[in-house]
Chain A
Amino acid sequence: MASLDSAPAVPLKAAPAKGRLPGGALLGLGLLVLAALPVLLGASNYLLGLLISALILSGVSLAWALLGNLGGMVSFGHAAFFGVGAYASALLAGKLGLPVLLTVPAGGLVAVVASLAMLPALRLSGPYFALAILAYAQIFRILATEASWLTGGGAGYQRYPGLPTVFGLDLASRTGSYLLLVACVTLCALAYLAVRRSPIGLALRAIADSEDATRVVGVNATLLKCLMLLLSAFITGVFGALNAHIIGFLEPDYAFSGVWSLMPIIAAIFGGYRTIAGPIGGAVIIYLFDQIVAKGLIAVGHQIILGFVLVAMVLAAPNGLLGLAKRGGRHA
């Protein structure tokens, strides 16, 4: 906070954000502690499985919101990073025999390399960037299908190791995977918080207010936006890799599925993409709702309900549930 207060050079329109910073962080940590409860209370394997998938989505949603909130860019193609991370980690572990604990972050790094290919799209501002990234996501799915000598093609790839046992904790077990994911999501939330509080975060918020004015003061806006894209790609790749080792099977249509682009958007918008706790909590709620309620109502095409949720949120509460709660609290 001190760094924020001692930086009067850039007038901050988002003054209330100052008060929101620790609140959001506390809420996020609170949510994660809450999320750890099922393990302590001994939940069923089915519920743990659902929560594991939900937390994977939480991580991707957080990465999406980081790009959207700090970078000011809407991505419709995070499936590309997710799939690249998944395949890279699985192939490094399966074909080269590297330890999984190394290949997971390596998957994130390969996703960063993949995102470098998107940098020319940063020349396209605003809505055009969103469309370019939509197009990019398709490229990787086709490449993974066509490079069958490497990826097994459409038939899928499955002979690669799962998560290892560390310090006596079997990460491949449901409980182990769950705890690992809680840790990873927390770590990413803290990283997000650190970036937001750093001078880079300050500059990014100034860019959001007026990109031209910020450039005049000597901030390299494009470079900072690039950094956010790379960080977002890294986090998404890591969660893609974790997911790959947890489920133990990959095929292009699954790893690069549009679902990995769509669900984070809905989760982040639903929870409130300008907060840290919003995307995490939103992902858990949206995923459980989709799997338990929506799929029960409509077997094929259950995403139509999510579409309605998305439209309703944008129209009625564009700042998400957290924003809604905050506004309600202020009025009361």
Chain B
Amino acid sequence: MTDLVLQALFSGLLVGSVYALVALGLALSFGAMRIINLAHGELVLLAAYCAYVVEGRLGLDPYLAIPLALLVVSAVCAVLFLMIDRIREHRELNSLILTFGVGIILTNAILLIFASDARTTASATLQDATSVGPVYAMNGEVVAFGVSLALMVALWWWLKTSWYGRAVRAVSSNRAAAKLMGISPVRTELVSFLVAGALASFAGVALYTMSVVQPALGHALTVKAFIVTVLAGVGSIPGVFLAAILLGVTEALTVTLASSALQELAGMVLFLLVLFLLPNGLFGARARRG
């Protein structure tokens, strides 16, 4: 029993790191544009199916799909951005509905092209297990965890030190003031959107190599990313990481101790508890949610 719980904790940690990538992408585009991209989960899904095409149809290593995924997802992101930028009235409400519509288009396009079958990597190397002390992990999971960690550090570094990173933070905190300092909000928004897309590309390929993907997953991922955001409170990168791991561990423990049908419910219950008891999130000091 202890072994099972330890294993669940470990698996939760690994999958949580990918949830963190998805949630960070959602938070990044929200920070700069004040717009929640309801198609964000579908962007991740798109990247996962790029990996499927490269491995399943072309017979190459799934990691080679990363450039393709970056290209495809960035293109979709750019189109999405241009559409959002065209909205003039009731921007908040209309952009929600717009991105929701784009999510439906993407999910159904994937359904049309690839059918509703669940896909995962066929690579024996990636599916092989590595033992870490008493617990086991698929090689794919270990790689995904490492890449997620590296990307989070890179994102943190980019936001902290680069000119565009500072611009994104400036626009997030005060759009008008940033404009007065000579920062183009539109260009900054586009950059944050594309970076979010890049995170989604890596997350999608990671998900394909460590778990099972299917067309309905996109919507579920958006919900998960949102739950992580609420758990984390104000968007600090370590906060999002911890909240994502909490969600991953909760889900894994639910599957181990109760049933896999309740997996989604566990995340929701966690979400409700935090919403009722800690409206500022687990790591948020200030109330800044809207």
Contact = CB atoms under 8 A, between A and B. Distances in A.
Interface of A: 68, 74, 76, 120-121, 123-128, 130-132, 134-136, 138-139, 142-143, 145-146, 258, 262, 265, 269, 298, 300-304, 306-308, 310-311, 314-315, 318
B111 A301 contact: yes
Given A127-B96, A139-B268, A310 B109 contact: no
A125 B98 contact: no
- In the A-B complex, the 8 residue pairs with the smallest Cβ-Cβ separation, listed nearest first, are A125-B290, A310-B101, A307-B104, A304-B108, A307-B105, A301-B108, A127-B36, A311-B101
B226 interface: yes
Contacts of A124: 230, 275, 289-290
B86 interface: yes
B92 interface: yes
Given A130-B96, A134-B226, A300-B116, 17 more contacts: A123-B289, A128-B290, A134-B222, A135-B227, A136-B268, A142-B262, A142-B265, A142-B268, A301-B109, A301-B111, A307-B101, A308-B105, A310-B97, A310-B104, A314-B97, A315-B87, A318-B89
Interface of B: 30, 34-36, 38, 83, 86-87, 89-90, 92-94, 96-98, 100-105, 108-109, 111-112, 115-116, 219, 222-223, 226-227, 230, 261-262, 264-265, 268, 271-272, 275-276, 279, 289-290
28 contacts: A74-B93, A74-B96, A74-B97, A76-B38, A120-B272, A127-B36, A128-B290, A131-B223, A132-B230, A134-B222, A136-B268, A142-B261, A142-B265, A142-B268, A146-B261, A146-B265, A300-B111, A300-B115, A301-B108, A301-B109, A301-B111, A302-B108, A307-B104, A307-B108, A311-B101, A311-B105, A314-B98, A315-B86
A126 B90 CA distance: 11
A311 B102 contact: yes
For A121, A126, A301, the residue with the greatest tally of chain B CB atoms inside 10 Å of its CB is: A301
Contacts of B30: 127
Given A135-B223, A135-B268, A139-B268, A127 B35 contact: yes
A269 B97 contact: yes
Contacts of A74: 93, 96-97
B264 A318 contact: no
B interface majority secondary structure: helix
B19 to A, nearest CB: 14
Given A139-B268, A315-B98, A130 B89 contact: no
Nearest to B35: A127
B112 A301 contact: yes
A139 B222 CA distance: 15
Contact of A131 (B226, B264, B268, B279): B226
B97 A134 contact: no
Given A127-B36, A146-B262, A314 B101 contact: yes
Nearest to B101: A310
Contact of B271 (A135, A146, A265): A135
B101 A120 contact: no
Nearest to A261: B100
Contacts of B112: 298, 300-301, 304
A233 B112 CA distance: 34
Contacts of B94: 314, 318
Contacts of B116: 300
Contact of B275 (A68, A120, A298): A120
A207 to B, nearest CB: 14
Nearest to B269: A139
A303 B108 contact: yes
Contacts of A306: 104
Given A128-B290, A139-B265, A146-B262, A121 B97 contact: no
Nearest to A139: B268
Nearest to B105: A307
A185 to B, nearest CB: 23
A146 B83 CA distance: 41
Contacts of B86: 315
A126 B92 CA distance: 8
A308 B87 CA distance: 16
